[in-house]
Structure 1
């Protein structure tokens, strides 16, 4: 499928992606409402969330710049101390932004 590189083509691509996203989410809810979730399935789902997070973070820790590494460290420390994900994420974002601003001076 080729879409023209025009504003209308871009809008069509966005609408198609939104529709596919909605159908995927609605389909998931519909399917999972009909399947009983046992303890094994629940453990699997909980483990998947952590493994996806590790898969996203590991390349940043290995190949990222110093700001990315400091942000990961700040996020880890805040999460271990106060156990609030939103505060930990905010600490990581602020740390990366401030470090990049400081080294650009």
Structure 2
């Protein structure tokens, strides 16, 4: 299978990705409408979100550049101090930008 890089080919790819994304999102909601949410299932759903985030962050912490490590460190420290995620994320982005600009 070849992928056309013309304007029409790119638009077809974007349309295909849109359809797949919508199908998975709506499909998940549709399937979960048949499941009774017990405390055990609710705990699984809450824990799953954290495990996905950790699966993304840990490889970056061990294999990332100085900017990634600075962003993770500053974000972790800021969220522990302020107990608010949005300022911590902003501080992490700023730290990564500064480190990458300087080095």
TM-score, normalised with respect to structure 1: 0.90
The answer on 1:69 being equivalent to 2:86 is no
Pair 1:12-2:12 in alignment: yes
Gaps of 5+ in 2: none
| 1:47-86 CA-partner distances (Å, limit 9, x unpaired) | 1111111111111111111211111010001111112222
Q: Indicate the structure whose relative CO is greater, using CA pairs within 8 Å and at least 6 residues apart.
A: 2
**TM norm structure 2:** 0.92
Report deviation, 1:42. 0.8
Provide the residue aligned with 2:30 in structure 1. Answer: 30
State which drifts further: 29-38 or 71-80: 29-38
Tell me if 1:46 matches 2:76. no
